[in-house]
Copies of this chain bind each other. A is one copy, B any other.
């Protein structure tokens, strides 16, 4: 309550109300990805933190700095079993790199600084500060918080760069760079592209890279595919991987009779830059070391793409329209799940933009991340490409878009099915589905009506059942400012 009341005294702090804590934590993730600085989320005791955990899990995998402030009972009230009493640190432990409970009002300022510093420590962490109520309301004598500088990332060791150059010389096209963390942003990609052009090395983007530059003008390596067979095919023939802010590739799930790693047997991995180091600088140094040309243009001939204007609405038609109309510097929040493959393929021909993906596999982050990205970058269009089943995990985000007038267009891929589970069901060798099982994967009866849901949350909506309708709706969305939703009926 005192934190909320303080918003009127500390006007540099912008309060953004979300209707559910999972929206807060996802928005903090989106904000951090675009700003590199933490947002603070204010949560109510253990259960409020509980509601935020799923998107904090995603933020943790994205290495996004997030400061979670969790209110707690007054210090002397904690020992009783009041209704909201819980072990808040137990809730926090599942996702937090840093947890501190403040026990003395005079220590609060420093504790806040320490929490922000912990969140910012490379590569970025979830830092949780638990503040008992009396710590807020008692007078705090003594020192206030300290200004926390944004830390400078450590440079990768020179021997890493020499070693990588040697590997590339020996293995060339049997070696691959794997780009994660900040290396999938424009500078890292540019350097990786120069290296590839010079050495013949293959380049892949780690699926967990939180922010990926894409579209015309960028070097656009393949993302390591989701399914292990596809990943295995993409990575076939490699004898070396060089990791730039990335871990050794691992399959999303384990499946019967399928190895956890999609890498060929015996493939060796070495680190160019660790997760907490400056991978883009290491890539640039490696490009120099390899003697790669300074200038290298990836501006593919910009074939004029036309939006789809006729026929039934298919994922390909949507991809064509999105590629044609996506504004330059647009931010795509990608929670498309099964539609992601074909759509991202189309978006490689779009104007230069950035993509924010679901890093921790926990669905319900797409719309919240869009909220945070839009707050962080008010001058850029945010396009949330959102599967329908996962949209229902955090649809409350639309209301915050409306209240804050955020420039977001949400596109719902309404196939009315947990489509990915059809595939996972087959893959795990489960017996063929009967009616009861099928029913658990089905989002019909009743159909989710995103048109009404969006309007109920204050966001204007349209529904598109044909390619022409979708194109008209998306065109209108990019021409206006402010939130809107398009329910694409697939």
| B-binding residues in A (CB < 8 A) | 1-2, 4-9, 11, 15, 17, 19-20, 22, 45-48, 50-51, 53-54, 57-58, 61, 73-74, 76-77, 80-84, 86-87, 90-91, 93-95, 133-134, 136-137, 207-208, 247, 250-256, 260-261, 359-362, 364, 389, 392-393, 396, 399, 402-403, 421, 424-425, 428-437, 439-442, 445-458
Residues of B within 8 A of A429 (CB): 137
Bound complex: CA A74 to CA B253 (Å)? 8
Chain B residue at minimum C-beta to C-beta distance from A446: B458
Residues of B within 8 A of A86 (CB): 57, 94-95
What are 8 A-to-B residue pairs whose CB atoms are below 8 Å? A1-B430, A6-B437, A45-B361, A45-B362, A47-B57, A48-B362, A449-B456, A456-B456
A5-B47 in contact (CB<8A)? no
A449-B458 in contact (CB<8A)? yes
Once A83-B359, A247-B81, A445-B403 are accepted as A-B contacts, the answer to whether A256 and B4 lie under 8 Å apart by CB is no
Q: Is the interface of A mostly helix, strand, loop or mixed?
A: loop
B430-A4 in contact (CB<8A)? yes
A43 to chain B, nearest CB (A): 11
Bound complex: CA A74 to CA B50 (Å)? 25
Residues of B within 8 A of A392 (CB): 19-20, 396, 399
Residues of B within 8 A of A457 (CB): 446, 448-449, 453
B50-A428 in contact (CB<8A)? no
Residues of B within 8 A of A48 (CB): 54, 362
B50-A57 in contact (CB<8A)? yes
Contact check: which of B8, B47, B389, B439 meets A15 at CB < 8 Å?
B439
Bound complex: CA A344 to CA B365 (Å)? 38
Bound complex: CA A254 to CA B71 (Å)? 12
A228 to chain B, nearest CB (A): 11
Residues of B within 8 A of A393 (CB): 19-20, 51
Bound complex: CA A360 to CA B45 (Å)? 11
Residues of B within 8 A of A58 (CB): 47
Residues of B within 8 A of A360 (CB): 47, 83-84
Contact check: which of B22, B94, B361, B389 meets A83 at CB < 8 Å?
B361
A220 to chain B, nearest CB (A): 22
Bound complex: CA A432 to CA B9 (Å)? 11
A53-B5 in contact (CB<8A)? no
Chain B residue at minimum C-beta to C-beta distance from A451: B456
A460 to chain B, nearest CB (A): 10
A201 to chain B, nearest CB (A): 24
Residues of B within 8 A of A82 (CB): 250-253, 260, 361
Residues of B within 8 A of A90 (CB): 90, 93-94
Chain B residue at minimum C-beta to C-beta distance from A60: B86
Bound complex: CA A357 to CA B386 (Å)? 35
Bound complex: CA A396 to CA B136 (Å)? 35
B458-A456 in contact (CB<8A)? no
